Amino acid sequence: MKTACFNFVAIITLFTSFAVQSMAQTKVIAHRGAWKNTGAPQNSIASLQQAIKLGCYGSEFDVHMTADSALVVNHDHTLQGVNLETAPAADINALKLSNGESLPTLESYLKAGLKQKKTRLILEIKASKVSKEHSLALATRCVQAVKAQKGRKRVDYISFDYDVCKKVKELDPSANVAYLMGDKAPDLLAQDGLYGLDYNQAIMKKNENWIQEAHQKKLTVNVWTVNDPDMMNWLLERKADFITTDEPEKLLELTK
């Protein structure tokens, strides 16, 4: 009887240990969706759907605000010669991606992504080239749009503009907000109530101690844009919380 009890306890202990390790496992974020190996255009709803299909923890995308305050999803500030920040929405709505898909609005992107609960939406608020005021207005409009779609529990925010990060926290104190630029130590991010740091792989390699410091401050660590398996393994060994990659298929295989 004692042996049976011991074996039962051992099994429970092993299961608990495995569960903890699974919870701590580095999670995969598809950079601009899963596009590189699928043929879907970057930042398209099709690339989002591919990331969801793969089972990625998150799918990252970029948002701009047009001259008349419409919100559109694209990485660069221009598309097909049209400046997304200075053109009206009517001009931008006519643009088509390589698969025939219209350039997504933030509303259409959120609606597509929030139909499921498996993959989080990682919303980058693009720092404006027009003005700081434009960036902050964009931040406000993004938070409003997410609230309107009832997506607060499924959307995380990132930005290269620290003032934008703080603005989002002001508008929605419960929001997960991470900073991208890489020029601030974890201590400041923790003081300002951010969710985590989201820094380039070169910065993290140079400041390896920031991973442990961030975790000590209860911050998450995301690293971008990591496509090399050696760098992926380096970050996995150091227990980065997230890795953003153009190669989610490769990273998912490594994290199995």
pLDDT tens digits for range 173-196: 999 999 999 999 999 999 999 999
What integer pLDDT is reported at residue 8 of this predicted model? 46
> For position 7, what pLDDT does the model report?
52
Measured between alpha carbons, how far is 116 from 137 in angstroms, rounded to an integer?
28
User: How many whole angstroms separate alpha carbon 161 and alpha carbon 231?
Assistant: 26
Predicted local distance difference test score (pLDDT) of residue 2: 47
Q: Which segments of the chain have a pLDDT < 50?
A: 1-6, 8-23
Whole-number CA gyration radius for the chain: 20
DSSP bridge partners of 123? 61, 157
User: Helices 106-113 & 132-148, crossing angle to 10 degrees?
Assistant: 40
pLDDT of residue 205: 97
What per-residue confidence (pLDDT) applies to 215?
98
And the tokens for 230?
A: 């050696």
- C-alpha–C-alpha distance, residues 139 and 20, integer Å: 35
Looking at this protein, which amino acid is placed at residue 110? L
Q: What is the pLDDT of residue 38?
A: 98
Which of 57, 41, 51, 47 has its CA nearest to residue 156?
Answer: 57
In terms of Cα–Cα distance, which of 245, 253, 38, 62 is closest to 158? 62
